[in-house]
Amino acid sequence: MSLPATNPDITVVHLLRHGEVHNPAGVLYGRLPDYHLSDLGREMADRIAEHVADSDITHVVSSPLERAQETAAPTAQALGLPVTIDDRLIEAANVFEGKTFGVGDGSLKRPALWRHLRNPVRPSWGEPYREIAERMLAAVTTARDAARGHEALCVSHQLPIWTARSFATGRRLWHDPRTRQCALASLTSFSYRGDDLVSVSYEEPAHDLLPVRTGKKFTAGA
């Protein structure tokens, strides 16, 4: 983790993806309520709190969804900070929310739903990538301003974090979801000198806790 403590002109905003979620039905849960961290997810949240214990985090922000708030809680408690809720950090809207999603199984077996896949560039199945990027980077800017000269931690979700990173670094926004570098409980860190973004880094403090995914069903989103 990059630390700005020796340079008051540097501010770091860490985008933390939440930990593993209890999801026995294997659905794309999106913005649905009552999806909480699994036991492993809580272990991941504790790992993050240990990882940032010596950092200069002065501001903790979370998506309004339960899994994000539960991931933020151990770090906020360890640092003696409140958790601020920012609706702009929420998961992306998706028409497949609440359904299983995969090739050859789940909701994609229904031809009536195929129309939602007609335009992957927008994408046609949910919130436009450009809108995701704009709201996420607006939330990052607010967090940066609240933690000037220090660090902020923003807990969000895989697609919003990846989209914000892609936009900020000039990468195209449409992509294969399997190529996202944004594992559970990972940190994507934006470093600013004043208001200027100077670097983006990535790390996986809970890498050894990541579950091994098998089978054809795609249940990530989150």
Question: pLDDT (tens digit, 9 = 90+) per residue, 108-160?
Answer: 555 555 454 656 667 756 899 999 999 999 999 999 999 999 999 999 999 99
In a domain, 110, yes or no: no
In a domain, 222, yes or no: no
In a domain, 184, yes or no: yes
Beta carbons within 10 angstroms of residue 32's beta carbon: 13
Q: How confident is the model at residue 5 (pLDDT cuts 50, 70, 90)?
A: very low
How far is it, in rounded angstroms, from Cα 86 to Cα 156? 10
Model pLDDT, residue 211: 80
What mean pLDDT do residues 67-84 have? Answer: 98
Number of domains comprising the chain: 1
In a domain, 52, yes or no: yes
Say if residue 208 is exposed, middle or buried (CB neighbours under 10 Å; 0-12, 13-18, 19+).
Answer: exposed
Q: How confident is the model at residue 100 (pLDDT cuts 50, 70, 90)?
A: confident
Model pLDDT, residue 101: 62
pLDDT in tens, 175-202: 888 899 999 999 999 999 999 999 999 9
User: To the nearest 10°, the Cα dihedral for 129, 130, 132, 137?
Assistant: 140
Question: Do residues 154 and 58 make contact, with C-beta atoms less than 8 angstroms apart?
Answer: no
Mean pLDDT score across all residues of the chain? 87
Model pLDDT, residue 8: 74
In a domain, 77, yes or no: yes
What percent of the chain stands above pLDDT 70?
82
**Residue of 75, 63, 81 whose CA lies nearest to 157:** 63
If phi over 0 gives left and psi between -120 and 50 gives alpha, with beta otherwise, what is residue 55?
Answer: beta
Model pLDDT, residue 53: 95
What mean pLDDT do residues 33-57 have? Answer: 97
In a domain, 27, yes or no: yes
40-73 residues labelled b (16+ CB within 10 A) or e (exposed)? bbbebbbbbbebbeebbbbbbbbbebbbbbbbbb
In a domain, 120, yes or no: no
In a domain, 219, yes or no: no
Q: How confident is the model at residue 50 (pLDDT cuts 50, 70, 90)?
A: very high
**The domain that contains 83 carries what CATH number?**
3.40.50.1240
Pick from 12-16, 83-87, 93-97, 186-190: least confident: 93-97
pLDDT in tens, 53-68: 999 999 999 999 999 9
Which ranges of the chain would DSSP assign to H, the alpha helix?
A: 39-51, 66-79, 129-146, 158-168
Q: Which domain holds residue 75?
A: 10-94+127-209
How far is it, in rounded angstroms, from Cα 55 to Cα 104? 46
